[in-house]
């Protein structure tokens, strides 16, 4: 008998029939004799709808009140699913994140899990109950509800699997597993049987929303046995693990895109030491994450620095930099959200310098202009115009397929 954590995303619990489908998967696992802890997301577009509702009342609502509101979506799906399981005659209890012992820090809307006090869950499992837990939320030291950031239910599930020392953590979603690119947008995308934690972490961070990147980071740290699979198809999914033994393709394991970014460029900065430090330390103090950074070669006395941030941080970053114009001494700021990041990820590219060139060739052949480039050991990212993002992913995917026979 194993201890299994199963997580079901929003599409999987979108309506009554789908909740009954999920209840069937859960009870089948339970009938096989396993102990079962289940994490659910809010139904369908509930979280987006709640955000829209809040905007009607107060577009500048505090993050604390937003968390209070958004946490309700998961409560609805969990209680409904528990009712479906009750109706099937199985012992079940639903718990909120805080009832389940999720302690977080106090960063509302993007809280990080500090610990999971599992006593209540263990007590319910001892009573042979199926335990259903709201994803994406916890409680902070003030006793307030917090949420973990969009897509955070995956992280709730992996945190539970790590804390309970579960044998398996299954992330059920609306696709069959992790693909070489988003199977809804890219023709010829192929399901991976296995992927390493490191590659999955890069893909998730670079925009493949199939897993929340913090869930992958945690799975790697605690060596959680993680699997992504469909709640609809019954097909085998993708295993996420330390070493992927049977990967057919060593160069590139996936292509991802992220349209939710903005680029800021400071033009005419004085070309002297300390400029970048002052600029980026201010952004860091205000918890604004900076991604790709490009500094031009100085022209005479000045230089330019451009960088990308999450789209949600664009206005705040622009405001902060505006306030610093005289201290930093730049000429003007150029800001655009008409930009997207397209990336390739693969552990094998480190020994193969031709990989990046192949990506650039694919973009060149499609007439797509590259604005910025950034590389690491296992990824290459480029910035392109937002309207070119989807084509970029497709042509890069096609080019690697053509070159290597499979990506």
**Residues that bind Mg ion in the complex, under the rule CB under 5 A:** 9, 151
Q: Are 116 and 136 in contact (CB under 8 A)?
A: no
Using CB under 6 A as the binding rule, whether residue 254 contacts ligand ADP is answered as yes
SS3 sequence of 247-281: CCCCCCCEEEEECCEEEEEEEEEECCCCHHHHHHH
Chain contacts with ligand ASP (rule: CB under 6 A): 9-10, 41-42, 47, 73, 135-136, 150-153
Name the DSSP class of 191: B
Identify what 175 binds: Mg ion, ligand ADP, ligand ASP, none; CB under 5 to 8 Å per kind. Answer: ligand ADP
3-state secondary structure of 245: coil
Q: How far is the CB of 145 from ligand ADP (least distance, A)?
A: 20
Using CB under 6 A as the binding rule, whether residue 230 contacts ligand ADP is answered as no
Q: How far is the CB of 240 from ligand ADP (least distance, A)?
A: 12
Helix (H) or strand (E) holding 379, with range, is strand 379-385
Identify what 275 binds: ligand ASP, ligand ADP, Mg ion, none; CB under 5 to 8 Å per kind. Answer: none
Strand ranges of the sheet holding 339-345, from the earlier edge strand across to the other edge: 254-258, 339-345, 379-385, 372-376
- Closer to ligand ASP by CB, 149 or 270: give it: 149
- Closer to ligand ADP by CB, 138 or 237: give it: 237
d(CA 82, CA 92) in angstroms, rounded, equals 6
Q: How far is the CB of 148 from ligand ADP (least distance, A)?
A: 13
Identify what 27 binds: ligand ASP, Mg ion, ligand ADP, none; CB under 5 to 8 Å per kind. Answer: none
One character per residue 25-44, x = contact with ligand ADP (rule: CB under 6 A) = ----------------x---
- Closer to ligand ASP by CB, 9 or 101: give it: 9
Per CB under 6 A, the list member of 208, 240, 262, 344 interacting with ligand ADP is: 208
Judging by beta carbons within 10 Å of its beta carbon (0-12, 13-18, 19+), is residue 254 exposed, middle or buried?
Answer: buried
Tokens of 62: 């505090």
Judging by beta carbons within 10 Å of its beta carbon (0-12, 13-18, 19+), is residue 60 exposed, middle or buried?
Answer: exposed
Using CB under 6 A as the binding rule, whether residue 226 contacts ligand ADP is answered as no
């Amino acid at each position: 008998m194993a201890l299994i954590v199963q997580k079901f995303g929003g599409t999987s619990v979108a309506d009554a029939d789908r909740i009954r489908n999920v209840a069937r998967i859960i009870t089948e696992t339970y009938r096989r004799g396993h102990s079962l802890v289940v994490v659910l997301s809010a139904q369908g577009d509930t979280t987006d709808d709640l955000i829209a509702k809040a905007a009607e009342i107060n577009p500048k609502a505090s993050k604390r009140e937003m968390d209070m509101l958004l946490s309700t979506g998961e409560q609805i799906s969990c209680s409904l699913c528990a009712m479906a399981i009750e109706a099937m005659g199985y012992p079940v209890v639903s718990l909120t994140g805080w009832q389940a012992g999720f302690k977080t820090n106090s960063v509302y809307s993007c809280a990080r899990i500090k610990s999971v006090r599992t006593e209540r869950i263990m007590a319910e499992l001892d009573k042979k109950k199926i335990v259903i837990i709201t994803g994406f939320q916890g409680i902070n030291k003030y006793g307030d509800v917090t949420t973990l950031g969009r897509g955070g239910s995956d992280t709730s599930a992996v945190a539970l699997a790590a804390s309970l020392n579960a044998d398996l953590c299954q992330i059920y979603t609306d696709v069959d597993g992790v693909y070489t690119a988003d199977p809804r947008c890219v023709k010829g995308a192929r399901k991976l049987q296995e992927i390493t934690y490191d590659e999955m972490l890069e893909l998730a961070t670079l925009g493949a929303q199939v897993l929340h990147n913090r869930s992958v980071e945690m799975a790697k740290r605690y060596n959680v046995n993680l699997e992504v699979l469909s709640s609809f198809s019954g097909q085998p999914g993708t295993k996420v693990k330390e070493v992927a033994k049977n990967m057919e393709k060593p160069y590139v394991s996936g292509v991802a895109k992220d349209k939710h970014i903005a680029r800021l460029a400071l033009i005419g900065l004085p070309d002297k030491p300390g400029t970048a430090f002052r600029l980026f330390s201010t952004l860091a103090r205000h918890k604004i994450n900076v991604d790709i950074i490009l500094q031009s070669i100085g022209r005479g006395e000045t230089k330019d620095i451009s960088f990308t941030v999450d789209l949600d941080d664009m206005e705040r970053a622009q405001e902060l930099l505006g306030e610093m114009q005289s201290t930093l001494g730049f000429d003007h700021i150029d800001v655009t959200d008409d930009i997207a990041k397209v990336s390739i990820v693969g552990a094998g590219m480190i020994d193969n310098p031709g990989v990046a060139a192949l990506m650039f060739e694919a973009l060149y052949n499609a007439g797509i202009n590259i604005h910025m480039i950034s590389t690491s050991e296992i990824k290459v990212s480029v910035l392109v115009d937002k309207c070119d993002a989807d084509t970029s992913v497709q042509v890069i995917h096609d080019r690697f397929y053509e070159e290597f026979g499979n990506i």
